[in-house]
């Protein structure tokens, strides 16, 4: 319509070659957008607003839409965060270093209790001992289990103020069921987060072969199941889920 300062539907049709019936549709849309003014004569005359005014109108309209969209997205994000506070999480990790890093992170996050079963002696590291000592200093309850006398002896020496026992869960090593894969570690944090590591005891590069899965969330079925399994090997800890 900028080609014609003002005009009737017929004139617009002739200069634009837009079918006349479509001209009325287009004018209604443009009028609703504030881009066309209508003079109510017979026949009606239509005039496009100047380019600067049209630009400002469109800019304001889309700015308002973007602001509205941003507000809705922020509100949705807050709602999703609230709804997902109890979301069940199950994650997998691969590699000894990544699993050790997550183990230390989970221990550092512990508020009330750390229960750790150690099957693979390679897991015992100074970083692990430091993390457990720090948790102990925070008054976190710590119970440590070892699969062998050597492991329990090391744990008892390094962490003399914690309760250490030798687990009776022989199936952890996998040899009782002729399985190449064995459990390397089981970590239970605050009775709601579990990390289970597995490895190949007979592999030359055992630590590099370690894999793990950890589950978080009080409502997580995997956590409930494995928590009961772990607490079966920890007679001094009463399982609240039982």
Q: How many CA atoms lie within 13 A of 22 on its CB side?
A: 6
Share of the chain above pLDDT 90, in %: 10
Q: Please, are residues 113 and 192 in contact by the beta-carbon 8 Å criterion?
A: no
Mean pLDDT, range 127-136, rounded to an integer:
91
Give the per-residue pLDDT at 77: 53
Going by pLDDT thresholds of 50, 70 and 90, the confidence category of residue 203 is low
Q: What SS3 class is residue 236?
A: coil
Domains of the chain: 6-75 (1.10.10.10), 88-231 (3.30.870.10)
Contacts by residues 91-96 (CB-CB < 8 Å, ≥ 24 positions apart): 91/213, 91/214, 91/215, 92/211, 92/212, 92/213, 93/211, 93/212, 93/213, 93/214, 94/210, 94/211, 94/212, 95/208, 95/210, 95/211, 96/122, 96/207, 96/208, 96/210
Query: Has residue 1 got a pLDDT over 50?
Result: no
24-32 long-range contacts (CB < 8 A, ≥24 apart) are 30/1
Q: Regarding predicted confidence, which is higher, 235 or 227?
A: 227
Tell me the per-residue pLDDT of 160-184, one tens digit each, with 9 for 90 and over. 777 676 665 555 555 554 557 778 8
Find the mean pLDDT for residues 102-112: 93
Residues 15-51 pLDDT 10s? 777 787 787 788 788 777 777 777 778 888 878 777 7
Task: State residue 50's pLDDT score.
Answer: 75
Assess whether pLDDT exceeds 50 at residue 79. no
């Amino acid at each position: 319509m900028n080609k014609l300062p003002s005009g009737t539907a017929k004139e617009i049709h002739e200069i634009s070659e837009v079918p006349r019936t479509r001209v009325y549709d287009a004018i209604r849309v443009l009028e609703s957008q504030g881009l066309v003014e209508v003079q109510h004569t017979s026949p009606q005359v239509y005039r496009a607003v100047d380019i600067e005014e049209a630009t400002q109108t469109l800019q304001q309209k889309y700015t308002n839409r973007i602001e509205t969209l941003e507000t809705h997205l922020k509100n949705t994000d807050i709602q999703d965060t609230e709804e997902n506070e109890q979301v069940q999480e199950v994650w997998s990790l691969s590699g000894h270093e990544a699993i050790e890093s997550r183990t230390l992170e989970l221990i550092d996050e512990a508020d009330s209790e750390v229960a750790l079963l150690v099957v693979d002696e390679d897991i015992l590291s100074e970083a692990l001992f430091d993390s457990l000592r720090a948790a102990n200093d925070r008054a976190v309850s710590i119970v440590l289990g070892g699969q062998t006398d050597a492991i329990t002896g090391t744990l008892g020496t390094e962490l003399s103020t914690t309760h250490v026992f030798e687990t009776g869960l022989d199936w952890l090593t996998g040899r009782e069921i002729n399985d190449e894969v064995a459990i390397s570690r089981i970590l239970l944090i605050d009775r709601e987060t579990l990390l289970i590591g597995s490895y190949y005891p007979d592999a030359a590069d055992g630590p590099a072969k370690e894999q793990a899965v950890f589950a978080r969330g009080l409502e997580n079925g995997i956590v409930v199941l494995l928590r009961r399994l772990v607490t079966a090997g920890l007679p001094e800890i009463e399982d609240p889920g039982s």
